[in-house]
Amino acid sequence: MGVTNSNKELSVSRIDCGGSFKIKLSLTAAPDITSNPTDIVLILDRSGSMAGSPLANLKNGAKKFIDIIDEATDGVEDGQIGSGSRIGIVSFADTATQDTQLITSVADLKNAVDALSADGSTNHADAFTKAINLFDPASANAKVMIMFTDGETTAGGNPNTVATAAKAQGIIIYCIGLSGNGGIDEQALRDWASDPDSAYVAITPNDEELENLFEDLAENITKTGATNIVITDTVSPCFRITALTPPTKGAASTLNSNTVEWKIGELGVTQSEGAVLEFVVQHIGSCSGNVEVNESIAYSDDKNNTVNFPSPLIDVDCGITIIPEDCPIPADVTIDSCTDTVEFDAGELGMDSLGRIIQLDVTLRNICPKKRVALAVLLHEVDLMGNEYKRGMKTITIPAHTRPSCRDVTVRCIKFVLPEDLDVSGASDSICSCRKFKARFIAHYIDNDFECCNIII
């Protein structure tokens, strides 16, 4: 069967800036179907939500799967599945139907697929039950189920119980999900599938991809197991590898802070088996938003299996980043020695944007000597309904004066910049509309001469 599935998963979908998460690489391989005869049951969803293009594309995918198995088992696409392997069809909606037994006739299998029509609810438990009943417990053939569905369970019993019983009997379960209709339970598919579920589950939102999914699965099933596997995974420069867990098969090491290399001597040569590698990655740098985790990931083995790992995204939340407008380009001015004045033409200056500057003065009453004052000024703009909008705050430290008695202190030139695009006056036909503001002032002494009383015992 070769490499039957591969996956790359993240432990979370979102992290804060500088946060960490786990990456899980999964790989599954199985022996060649010609030397390891296999009974395969296609379990196909024909519930009402499959009507139209989903069912049409499912049929194309299932028939392509049958053709690939046909050719792989005897070297020629002759209409008969050879080498002792067989395929059966089970379809389901309100209940499940054994549309064929385990047979070798490609024509009969395709006729059963073409006869499917969409209607009814979704009974996964009965589908698994009917599929299990197709297998002969006395047969030495490997046993594989391929469950395809596009929805959640809406009829029948608990499919988890039946799927668990099937796996206990040595049946391998693959799950293909179509999520485009919005009703699929992805976790349920992972619970039903063989372990590691990441290697036995494939989900697509696009029914046009179904034919490719079935084709890829069939091509992998027909290959032999893999030997001398080397996987080199390099994460994006936005991340670094901080920890590495020993894999369930083979050995892994970090080549640098961004690259991990995983080597497996053989996988799936005598029986179907999976392998998992996990490592921890930490966000570094300034990249944020939806960030692609992969820089690159390469796979090779001695059997020339073609393996593609997904490229997952993670949402990195580094807060709101505001890039202010560029500072004005300075003009160089040189004053020669012993020169009291200089005249310099800086050229023309264009207005970058419309706006106004408001300048406030305030007098602080009865400020006592040798005491600094903390002054805060809050500015709000007021619309026609009396609603207030924040326009800025300034905080100023007023130096202490040394006059002999308390006196008034005037603070001048407290400036606020007010762009016209913040105008809430309601006027739309003028850039010089009347705008109303409210200014609030808060002042407190910073210094005091408070002293604790001495404690006498």
- Report CA dihedral (144, 148, 154, 157) to the nearest 10 degrees: 0
Q: Among the listed ranges 54-68, 76-90, 271-285, 321-335, which one has the minimum average pLDDT value?
A: 321-335
Confidence grade of residue 83 (pLDDT, cut at 50, 70, 90): confident
Q: Give the integer Cα–Cα distance in Å for 84 and 86.
A: 7
Sign of the CA dihedral 400, 402, 407, 411? negative
User: For the sheet containing 294-300, what is the strand order?
Assistant: 251-256, 259-267, 226-235, 294-300
Mean pLDDT of 291-319: 87
pTM flag (> 0.85): no
Q: How far is CA 263 from CA 164, 239, 304, in A?
A: 31, 22, 15
User: For the sheet containing 436-445, what is the strand order?
Assistant: 388-398, 373-382, 436-445
Confidence grade of residue 272 (pLDDT, cut at 50, 70, 90): confident
Mean pLDDT of 148-161: 93
Q: Give the integer Cα–Cα distance in Å for 312 and 201.
A: 15
- pLDDT over threshold 90, residue 173: yes
Mean pLDDT of 69-93: 91
Model confidence pLDDT, tens digit, residues 350-379: 655 567 888 888 888 888 888 999 999 999
Mean pLDDT of 202-225: 82
3-state SS, residue 422: helix
Following DSSP, what letter does each residue of 274-314 receive, concatenated?
A: EEEEEEEEEE-SS--EEEE-EEEEEEE-TT---------EE
Number of neighbouring beta carbons within 10 Å of residue 103: 15
Tally of CA atoms within 13 A in the half-sphere of 158 that contains its CB: 5
- pLDDT over threshold 80, residue 294: yes
* Pair of tokens at residue 352: 């970058």
Q: 54 or 318, which is more confident? A: 54
- pLDDT over threshold 60, residue 292: yes
Number of neighbouring beta carbons within 10 Å of residue 385: 7
CATH numbers and ranges of domains, the chain: 33-222 (3.40.50.410), 355-445 (2.60.40)
pLDDT for residue 223: 67
Confidence grade of residue 321 (pLDDT, cut at 50, 70, 90): very low
Query: Which range scores top for mean pLDDT: 36-45, 195-204, 262-271, 401-410?
Result: 36-45
pLDDT for residue 329: 73
* Pair of tokens at residue 106: 């490609």
Mean pLDDT of 332-346: 70
Q: Give the integer Cα–Cα distance in Å for 184 and 245.
A: 32
Return the percentage of the chain with pLDDT > 70, whole number.
90
Mean pLDDT of 425-445: 81
- pLDDT over threshold 90, residue 73: no
pLDDT for residue 14: 92
Mean pLDDT of 286-312: 88
Confidence grade of residue 410 (pLDDT, cut at 50, 70, 90): confident
